[in-house]
Amino acid sequence: MTSSAPGAASNPVRRLILLRHGQTVYNADSRMQGQLDTDLSELGRTQAKSAGPVIADRAPLTIVSSDLKRAYFTAVAVGDAAGLPVLTDMRLRETHLGDWQGLTHSDVDRLTPGVRAAWRADATLAPPGGESRIDVAKRSVPVVTELLAALPDWAERPVVLVAHGGLIAALTAALLDLPIDRWAILGGLGNTSWVQLSGHGDPASIEWRLDVWNASASVANDVL
């Protein structure tokens, strides 16, 4: 007689999908949004409607979104397709970019040459008056930890978090326990592209593995 591995039934693989919001005018203009509450562009609304059924086909268990409009309205497109309500959590907001919010990439590079490039390469750096990626991870990882405790039936049906490119990169790096000096290896995400992770083991000491990075319902051409 054979038996399954100890704990296999009680510790199923948990799927986590991190979906970036649809395009905004700020995205199209290479303008830094941070926590400014910008809305989806016409293209962004189309992207959300296209991504919604693709994510819904994975039969999500629950959907939690940043409370910023561009993420929330993207999440609603998924929720409508899946027949699920959307919960919001402000801890899933994008990185606060401080003095850079509202400026274009070119504006920042002209005002402070080399600083934005250094910030992208170093997760410990923050824009003046803003957050570092370390800060972002510290506030977003507990969202996942709390969901693990609250959803005992979380397994193959994924939990979907709808958020922002900077937050998704920081959260992914932290969940994978990457060395901080290697966080920059995770590149940009296209609008309505997503990341999938799988969690293995006991929820109290879960090990996350990267399954998919920058997946999309269509080929994305807006990775910044």
Please give the positions annotated as active site: 21, 94
Count other Cβ atoms within 10 Å, centred on residue 112: 15
- What's 106's DSSP letter? H
CA 97 – CA 55 distance, rounded (Å): 29
CA 79 – CA 192 distance, rounded (Å): 14
Beta-carbon contacts of residue 218 (< 8 Å; ≥ 6 apart): 50
Between strands 207-215 and 194-200, the pairing is: antiparallel
**Could you give the strand order of the β-sheet that contains 159-163, starting from the edge strand earlier in sequence?**
87-88, 62-65, 159-163, 14-20, 194-200, 207-215
